[in-house]
Structure 1
Amino acid sequence: MTLDDANPNSVGPRIRMMLPSLTPREAHVVESVLAMRDFGPDTALKAIADSTGVSEAMVVKIAKKLGFDGYRGLRSALSQYNRLPAAAMHQEVSPEDTSREIVQKVFRTSIRALEETLAILDLDAFDRAVEAIYGARQRDFYGVGGSAQIARDVAHKFLRIGLRASVHDDAHMMLMSAALLGERDIAIGFSHSGNTAAVIEALQLARRNGARTLAITNYDRSPLARQAEIVLCSTALGSPLMGENAAARIAQLNILDAVFVAVAQRDYQRAERNLEKTMSAVAANRKDRTP
């Protein structure tokens, strides 16, 4: 499927996902077009070329590189996308914003990330991820910084239903873990940018050792995605203050929550039994409610 035929909700995020594969000059043109508030069906090719300092032929070439049949295809698809309610949700936070405006903008950015991630989610890859995680002997999760927190949350959920899972956020620990994985195991790497060296190297080693590999990232053409057998992508629009990571984390948590539910569904009774066991194990550490 080309982007000319894509779900309108997915056009913006799919274009953004391709940015790392473009040259700096091409990326500048695309980012300029995406940032144009008045971009629409009447926006001329010459206007884009003049405003970005490139030739008209270059704009057409970029449109084709993005998966369109040419500039007209890009203009038509992006115009439809810009008219969607979700596309209007993202607004930059300003120093003059009230508390109400800040809350609304942050929430709307997250809602947009969820809407657009749902639109681009590859359900075939989702099903493959579910089967690989369910059938694995060991599940090792790798992430650094904020991505490690997502990995920890997901591993915790799987452990609660009796599926063995470990989390590593140290480069050496990731490599040691990956060195011990085999054909019956799966390594899951988290990186918003897809460029986190420690996670890439660990996934690469796990794959060499025969383990299944799954990448959770914002960019399906990133180095991490290239090392993974299965890729699940989130998407989020960045801002100077929050970056892309905050909203992307929410989208990634939702993807993995859906994976978790689908895995638990494979053997629901067993999941329920193990959940009862693990909940009972920690119940003694909880203080009774006081009247």
Structure 2
Amino acid sequence: MNVTAQLEPIEESVRRAPALIRYLGEGDYVTRRYVSQGAEMNTGDYFDYACEVRDGMTIRDHFTLDTHGFVLGKHRSAIADFHDKPAVDAAYLAEVENLVTRLSGASRTAAQGWMIRTSADLSARAKQKVEGYQHSGGIQPPAGEAHVDYNEITGQRAAARVYADRFADGPGYKRYICFSLWRTFSPGPQDWPLAVCDGRTVSDEETASNTLFVVDEFPTGDALTAPVEGEDQMIAATIFRHRERHRWWYFSNMQADDVLLFKFQDSDHSVTWRCPHTAFHDTSLPDAKIRESIEVRCIAYFE
């Protein structure tokens, strides 16, 4: 793929917000992501780089999944309160499956799980002792660094496993796309909105895999990076090192009916097949408010 995609005139015309985007440093690190209730941490050294994030809200209909790796749609949810966990479990995942199937043109979609993320203070929650913490259906802080939630082997295995589990009688699939469907449900403008990177402007050379460890308590000292047998086969994200060519976008002042769909991994590499993303502190708009958002991981299948 071309990693120096030329900006179109309509993309040059938009407002830009200053941002600090956190990237993995250039060194050689053991890269792991540990998550527990209300908190997440990475090994390796990360650094904040001054970037511009273009505001795509005024040209929202310009973006497409196969060109940019993300698209902004409209959808009114029947969920009145996204903090009502039983209601979200009962109805929202089905909503997302229907919506993603429509937005992507897939044959069908399987939702995997959801997470609320907020810029509110979660320090008290993080101090609570939780046995058997599960990284789904909870509340976590916004994403802290440029990443894609899957590396290739993780996406391939997830697609095969989920299809076999959900659609065992199906004809099989020619293509799959691992997605996130993301919306805010707090009033705008958001203080820590989500930024997405034009997938045409990234390449493999600046990537590393970041293995996921779900833990009750964070390890300390040498235990953070001690060797783990079979780690190269474990669930892992893709993280990125900074490159000037990366082109970041966000959609300011998102409302609850705005939904941002972006790719973790598309098995079709002839189109834009992944979309790095992260939160950033938006200082460009007055009266920014605490962000609350809900994200759903899902896999769309083309049969």
Name the TM-score class by shorter chain. Answer: under 0.3
Name the structure with the higher strand share: 2
> Which protein has the larger Cα radius of gyration, Structure 1 or Structure 2?
1
Pick the structure with more helix per residue. Answer: 1
What is the TM-score of this pair, normalised by structure 1? 0.22
Q: What is the TM-score normalised by the length of structure 2?
A: 0.22
